[in-house]
Amino acid sequence: SQQGEEDPQALSIQEGENATMNCSYKTSINNLQWYRQNSGRGLVHLILIRSNEREKHSGRLRVTLDTSKKSSSLLITASRAADTASYFCATYSGTYKYIFGTGTRLKVLA
Amino acid sequence: EAGVTQSPTHLIKTRGQQATLRCSPISGHTSVYWYQQALGLGLQFLLWYDEGEERNRGNFPPRFSGRQFPNYSSELNVNALELEDSALYLCASSLNLGLAGAPYEQYFGPGTRLTVT
């Protein structure tokens, strides 16, 4: 099974609301990254958080990392219709391999 | 700055044929990654190339192979195509391993959609 498992699998919210998605993983990591994918096309890198960091911000994005619980969360504040996409977490454990989660499909209703 | 490019955009093959997919990384990036994304699913790691060397491969049969050229572009070959090989194949590039061996973020191309009939 995938190292990264996102939760929930799908999320539908109204524009202006906050969206929170979670990622759990199984082994120790060097870093964890979040990506967005629109309509089955290429992924866009959103944010990278290293194992010794607990929280990072980028614009309307806030990522937290809890290495003791082997989990991360991505918060998108004041969501917009343009945020509608699939969101993936990816972990790197120092083995020349990224492991992507199964993704959360976010739908923001205007 | 040009992004990661992939060709072709779409590829239709019949079972048993061979498919060749190409990827050009961002200028200055020496690492190239290949992923398979079946419809509605997450990304499955296929291959990681860096400086012309294969660093790792995912849990795929040997009929999935590739190479990285001196200019850091890369090619993915899939032999003896099977119906379940139908998927979006994504290529990504990055700078090579940074300090402490932790890699940089990956930049993805738009993908090649392979359909096997």
* Domain-embedded: residue B113: no
B7-20 pLDDT tens trace? 999 999 999 999 99
pLDDT band at B90 (very low <50, low <70, confident <90, very high): very high
A52-103 pLDDT tens trace? 999 999 999 999 999 999 999 999 999 999 999 999 999 988 777 888 988 9
- Who's near A36: CB < 8 A, 6+ residues apart? A43, A44, A46, A85, A86, A87, A88
Nearest to A101 among B42, B102, B108 (CB): B42
Nearest-angstrom CA–CA distance, A45 and A85: 13
Q: Which domain holds residue A19?
A: 5-109
Q: Which domain holds residue B73?
A: 5-95
Tell me which chain B residues have a C-beta less than 8 angstroms from the C-beta of A42. Answer: 4, 90, 108-111
Nearest-angstrom CA–CA distance, A74 and A65: 9
Q: At residue A54, what is the residue type?
A: R
Answer yes or no: do B45 and A99 touch at CB < 8 A.
yes
pLDDT at position A2: 38
**Whether A95 contacts chain B with CB within 8 A:** yes
Nearest-angstrom CA–CA distance, A65 and A24: 10
B52-65 pLDDT tens trace? 999 999 999 999 99
Nearest-angstrom CA–CA distance, A24 and A91: 10
Percent of chain A with pLDDT over 70: 95
Does A1 have pLDDT greater than 60?
no
Answer yes or no: do A30 and B102 touch at CB < 8 A.
yes
Total of domains in chain B: 1
* Domain-embedded: residue B109: no
CATH at residue B40: 2.60.40.10
Total of domains in chain A: 1
pLDDT at position B102: 66
pLDDT band at B41 (very low <50, low <70, confident <90, very high): confident
| CA A39 centroid distance within chain | 17
Does A37 have pLDDT greater than 60?
yes
* Domain-embedded: residue B108: no
- Partner residues linked to B42 by β-bridges: none
Does B22 have pLDDT greater than 90?
yes
* Domain-embedded: residue B48: yes
**Whether A25 contacts chain B with CB within 8 A:** no
CATH at residue A14: 2.60.40.10
Tell me which chain A residues have a C-beta less than 8 angstroms from the C-beta of B37. Answer: 40
Across the range B26-39, mean pLDDT stands at 93
Query: Phi first, then psi: what are they for B100, rounded to 5°?
Result: 60, 15
Across the range B91-117, mean pLDDT stands at 85
Across the range A26-48, mean pLDDT stands at 90
pLDDT at position B101: 62
Q: What distance in Å separates residue B22's CA from the closest CA in chain A?
A: 15
CA-nearest residue to A43 within chain B is B108
